[in-house]
Structure 1
Amino acid sequence: MAEEEVVRDSMFAWLVMLVLPETCYVEFFENFNFLDVPCLKIAISKGLGIGIILGSVLVKIPQIVKIAGSRSAEGISLLGVILELIAISATWAYSVANAYPFSAWGEALFLAIQTSTIGFMCLVFSGKQTSAFGFLGVYAGIMWFLLSGMTPMNVLASLQASNIFLVVSSKLIQAQTNYRNGHTGQLSGITVFLLTAGSYARIFTTIQETGDTLTTWVILYQPWPIVSF
C-alpha cells in the first residue's frame, strides 16, 4: 500500500513539475505554503497560459462554422485576415526563436492554423480555388523559413515590432468593411469576444513568463478586435 502511495506521489510530482518548477512543488505540496508569492505568480501565469492555449484551439471555430454553413465569406476582409495572420505568425516565429515556454505563445500556433483556414475559405467561396491553394502553399513555405532557424533574430524582432501596425490596421480595415456593407456579414461576435478576453489575460502571462517588453507592447494592442463591431 505504501509503495502504491509512493508511485502515486511520484506521478503527481512529475505532473505538477511539468508546469511548475520543483521549488514551487516543494512550497505548495511539501511545505503547504500556498501563499508563497513568487510561486503563486508562476502558478497563476501557467494556469492562464494553458487556459488561453486550450481556448485558442476553438476560438475561431464559430467563425469557420459560420462561413462554412453559409458557404460565403461576405463581410470578411481578406486583406484584414492576411494582416492578422502575418501578425500571429510573427509572434509564433519570434517566440520560438527566443525559446520561450510553449505556455507563453502556444495559442499563436492554433490561431495561425485557424486564421489561415479562414483566408483559404474566403478565397474558395469567392470562386478562387487555385489562389486558395496557392495561398496555403506560400504561407507554409514562409513559416518553414521563419521557424527553420535561418531567419536572423533582428528580422524576427522587426516583424514582431510591426505587429502593432498590422493588428490595428487589420481591425480598422475590417471595421471599414463592416461600415461600407452596413452589417458584419459572416463575422462572428463570439470569436471577437474570445480573442479580446484572451488578449487581456495574455498580457499578465507574457510579463511573468518572458519579461519581453516588445511582446508585451504588441499584446496591449490585441484587444483591438472589438473595433470590428
Structure 2
Amino acid sequence: MTLSSGVEIFCNILSTSVIIGGLSLKIPQIISVVKASSTRGLSLSGVILEECAYSIMLTYHFASGYPLMTYLEYTVCVLQDLMLIMLILHYNDQFSLNSIIWFVVYPFDKEFIFLYNSGTGQSGFQARNNATLVMVRGNLVTPLSVFSKAAQIKTLWEKKDSGHVSLTTYSLAAYGCIARVVTTALQTADVAVLINYITSGSLNLVIVALIIVYSQNKKHKLY
C-alpha cells in the first residue's frame, strides 16, 4: 500500500509510541506482583492465552511480510508475558519441572516458526500450504484475545477486587490497540488484524474501568 509522506510519518510516529509502550507494557504489572509477592486478581489462564495471541501476531506479521514497525512491540511483549507467567506460577506454588521444560522449549518453537515462514528448509508441500497456514493463524488471534481478556474480566468481576492487576499495563495495552487500529488501516488494511485490535482494545478498556472501580471501592493503590 502506497502512502503519502505525511501519512507515513504519522504512522511511524504512532508505531514508535506503541513500540516504546510495548517495551515496558508488562513491567508495571511485574513490579506490582514482585512488590506484593502476590498475584491476587490476575488470571493465569488469561495471561497464557494472551501469550499465545502475542506469539501468533508476531509470527503472522512476519510471515505476511508486513513492515517491522507494525509489529515490533510483540517481540518484547512475548518475553514479558513469559516472565509474568513464571512469576504467577512461582507465587502460586505451581512451578514444576514441566514448567521449566515448557519455558525452555517455547522460544525455540517460535524460532522454528520464523524459519518455516521465511522459507528455510521448506518442502514443496510446505511452500504450497504456507499461505493457508498464515490465514488460519491470523483468524485464530481474535478468539484467543477475547478468551484471554474475558478470563481477566471474569476474575475481576467475581472477586470485586482489582488486587495487584496493573492499571498502567492495561491502559498502555488499550492505547496500543487503538493506535494499531489506525496504523493497520492505513498501512496493511488486514481485516483479521483490524478486528483483533478493535476487539482487544474494547476489552482492555473494560478491564481498565473495572480496575478503577474496584481500586476505588477497596482504596487500593493504582500502580
Report the TM range for the smaller structure's normalisation.
0.7 to 0.9
Q: Tell me if 1:225 matches 2:191.
A: no
CA contact (8 A) 1:172 1:227 kept: no
State how far apart, in whole Å, the 1-side matches of 2:79 and 2:135 are.
Answer: 22
Q: CA deviation at 1:163?
A: 1.4
Q: Structure 1 residues 156 and 78 mapped into 2: Cα distance closer, same or farther (>3 Å)?
A: farther
State how far apart, in whole Å, the 2-side matches of 1:165 and 1:54 are.
Answer: 26
Q: Tell me if 1:188 matches 2:166.
A: yes
Q: Tell me if 1:71 matches 2:49.
A: no
CA contact (8 A) 1:120 1:135 kept: no
Q: CA deviation at 1:116?
A: 1.4
CA contact (8 A) 1:196 1:222 kept: yes
CA contact (8 A) 2:149 2:204 kept: yes
CA contact (8 A) 2:63 2:114 kept: yes
* Correspondent of 1:141 among 89, 92, 108: 108
SS in 2 for 1:129: coil
SS in 1 for 2:42: coil
Q: Structure 1 residues 79 and 196 mapped into 2: Cα distance closer, same or farther (>3 Å)?
A: same
State how far apart, in whole Å, the 2-side matches of 1:121 and 1:134 are.
Answer: 16
State how far apart, in whole Å, the 2-side matches of 1:185 and 1:148 are.
Answer: 41
**What are the superposed Cα offsets for residues 99-134 of structure 1, whole Å, 9 maximum, x if unpaired?**
211110111111111111111111111123324423
SS in 2 for 1:76: coil
Q: Tell me if 1:159 matches 2:137.
A: yes
**What are the superposed Cα offsets for residues 20-75 of structure 1, whole Å, 9 maximum, x if unpaired?**
x9xxxxxxxxxxxxxxx821101100111112111110121100100111112122
Task: Tell me which of the two structures has the higher relative contact order, counting C-alpha pairs closer than 8 angstroms and 6 or more residues apart.
Answer: 2
State how far apart, in whole Å, the 1-side matches of 2:136 and 2:91 are.
Answer: 34
Q: Tell me if 1:109 matches 2:87.
A: no
- Which amino acid in 1 is paired with 2:67? P
Q: Tell me if 1:199 matches 2:181.
A: no
- 2:214 — aligned with what? none
State how far apart, in whole Å, the 2-side matches of 1:94 and 1:114 are.
Answer: 19
- 1:45 — aligned with what? 11
User: Structure 2 stretches of 5 or more lacking a match?
Assistant: 118-125, 211-223
Q: Structure 1 residues 107 and 177 mapped into 2: Cα distance closer, same or farther (>3 Å)?
A: same
User: Structure 1 stretches of 5 or more lacking a match?
Assistant: 1-20, 22-36
Percent same amino acid at aligned positions? 24
Matched length? 194
**What are the superposed Cα offsets for residues 163-183 of structure 1, whole Å, 9 maximum, x if unpaired?**
111111111111111122221
Which structure would you say has the larger Rg? 1
Give the TM-score normalised by structure 2: 0.80
CA contact (8 A) 2:149 2:200 kept: no
Q: CA RMSD in A?
A: 1.9
- After TM superposition, the structure 1 stretch with the greater mean CA deviation from structure 2, 210-219 or 145-154, is 145-154
- 1:168 — aligned with what? 146
CA contact (8 A) 1:160 1:218 kept: no
